[in-house]
A and B are shown apart, each in its own frame.
Chain A
């Protein structure tokens, strides 16, 4: 099914088309949210809220603004970050010096893990620290190129090319 068509149908409030998109992106969104809130139940709650928000704001998405997945990713990251700023989150005494997504992958119970996930875990564990940090900031935390550059104390151009290399390695490993 053509993704662009699915998105158009979704924007016309086609529930079936949205279900397909949901199944495509649900795990990724959940993973990103979980990486930020570090709580599976909370992640589940926020992820569901995100997909309801996405549905309610369907008409505000436009391809000119970026990829559909990226749009949902932004909504998810913002919702998760909002939660970490809430009283509720602070009271739960979460370790804010949180580990990177790498640790989540490593500690995953992996009961329902696919071969790819297992391979990914291996792959990620072997990634260089810079790659881990860049991927963490750009994809999981939603940092801009400039923010990431300041955070990692690296020139903007380096962030861009280093990220390209890291994702390239990932793609080779995944065969995509």
Chain B
């Protein structure tokens, strides 16, 4: 079909009217692009139709200004409608706030943990300080005792059962008390307990000063014991738990006489 025939077919008039199918429209568009003559023909038809339809307009006045304001409003709307961008921003906003939230939570929990830890350590430290100061006070007290000129020091030496054992008694006659340093004794076997004796030598009369039932638990192994006897010697025996009425001399660990 040549250009003339194409024009004469009336398809361009229908094209302008919008009466063709989508496919036909595309075909006509492609044909027009290749042929300037057709484009001129289409413009001419369109011009005629424009004038004809405009003639059917009534008296109402039209001004672009009437819609201009609405266009600018819509224009900004159009920008805000750019969904991918907005969504991307929105999503990254959510992700960011989620991350920040998580980090915050994590930091908070870390903080709480650290606080607990610090509190724990502080408590432990306080306990240690308390213990140390108690120990120091104890040590101070011991030093005071050892330096006191009125206190008699009696070394107890190891006997046959346990030759390496030793102990020391500090006897304060003013207060009728002895301080027994039993550091040189081994831990007693299970079910057994050390018992401290005050002895009169002639005739041999033992008087129980008590049992060291806290021996294993005691850290410095220094025991304060009341002693109102006119002791001539001190001895320590291993006895069944709860102690005995009279010493089992076969289990005599240490013995020492008071020098007069």
A contacts, CB < 8 Å to B: 13, 15, 18-19, 22-32, 34-35, 40-41, 43-44, 47-48, 51-52, 55-56, 63-67, 69-71, 73-74, 101, 104-105, 108-109, 111-112, 116-117, 120-121, 124, 135, 138-140, 142-145, 148, 160-161, 163-164, 167, 170-171, 174, 176
Q: Note all chain B residues with C-beta closer than 8 A to A112.
A: 59
Question: Which 9 A-B pairs have CB atoms at the shortest separation, nearest pair first?
Answer: A164-B10, A31-B56, A27-B54, A40-B58, A28-B53, A31-B57, A44-B60, A160-B10, A138-B17
User: Is the Cβ of B67 less than 8 Å from the Cβ of A163?
Assistant: no
A23–B15 CA distance with the chains assembled, in angstroms:
22
CA distance A120 to B56 in the complex (A): 10
Min C-beta distance of B197 to chain A, whole Å: 112
- A43 with B58: CB separation less than 8 A: yes
Known: A56-B78, A64-B26, A142-B18. A117 touches B55 (CB 8 A): yes
Q: Are B62 and A120 in contact (CB under 8 A)?
A: no
Given A74-B18, A139-B17, do A64 and B29 touch, yes or no (CB 8 Å)? yes
Other A-B contacts than A47-B62, A48-B67, A148-B19, 5 sampled, CB-CB below 8 A, are A18-B71, A66-B15, A69-B49, A120-B51, A176-B47
B11 proximal to A (CB < 8 A): yes
A141 vs chain B, min Cβ distance (A): 10
Q: Tell me if B72 is interfacial: C-beta within 8 Å of chain A.
A: yes
Give me 21 A-to-B residue pairs in the complex whose CB atoms sit less than 8 angstroms apart, sorted by A's number.
Answer: A15-B75, A26-B64, A28-B49, A32-B56, A34-B58, A35-B56, A43-B60, A52-B74, A66-B18, A66-B25, A66-B29, A70-B17, A101-B53, A101-B56, A111-B59, A138-B19, A142-B18, A160-B14, A163-B13, A164-B13, A176-B48
- Give the residue among B20, B58, B66 with the most A Cβ atoms within 10 A: B58
Interface stretch of the complex, out of B38-46, B124-132, B156-164: B38-46
Identify B8's interface contact among A105, A116, A164, CB under 8 A: A164
Query: What CA separation (Å) do A29 and B55 show in the bound complex?
Result: 10
Q: A34-B58, A48-B66, A145-B20 are in contact. Are A56 and B42 (CB under 8 A)?
A: no
Q: Given the known A-B contacts A64-B29, A66-B15, A66-B29, are A171 and B45 also in contact in the complex, defined by CB atoms under 8 Å?
A: yes
Majority secondary structure of chain A interface residues (helix, strand, loop or mixed): helix
- Cβ-defined partner of A104 (8 Å) among B42, B45, B58: B58
Asked if B230 lies at the interface with its beta carbon under 8 angstroms from chain A, I say no
**Could you say which residues of chain A place their CB within 8 Å of the CB of B11?**
160
Interface secondary structure of B, over-half rule: helix
Q: Are A135 and B52 touching (Cβ within 8 A)? A: yes
B: residues with CB less than 8 A from A are: 8-11, 13-22, 25-26, 29, 42, 44-60, 62, 64, 66-68, 70-72, 74-75, 78
Residue from B25, B50, B56 within 8 A of A25 (CB atoms): B50
Question: How far apart are the CA atoms of A85 and B68 in the complex, in Å?
Answer: 28
* A27 CB contacts on chain B under 8 angstroms: 53-54, 57, 62
Asked if residues B45 and A55 are in contact (CB atoms below 8 Å), the reply is: no
- Interchain nearest-CB distance for A6 vs B (Å): 14
Nearest CB of A to B96, in Å: 31
Closest Cβ neighbor of A42 among chain B residues: B60
Contact A105 B55, beta carbon cutoff 8 Å = yes
Q: Are B48 and A171 in contact (CB under 8 A)?
A: yes
A101 cross-chain contacts in B, Cβ below 8 A:
52-53, 56
Provide the residues of chain A in CB contact with B8, threshold 8 Å. Answer: 164
Residue of A with least CB distance to B8: A164
The reply to whether B19 and A144 contact each other, CB–CB distance below 8 Å, is yes
Q: A48-B67, A67-B42 are in contact. Are A121 and B19 (CB under 8 A)?
A: no
Whether the Cβ atoms of A139 and B53 lie closer than 8 Å is yes
**Whole-angstrom CA separation of A108 from B17 in the bound complex:** 24
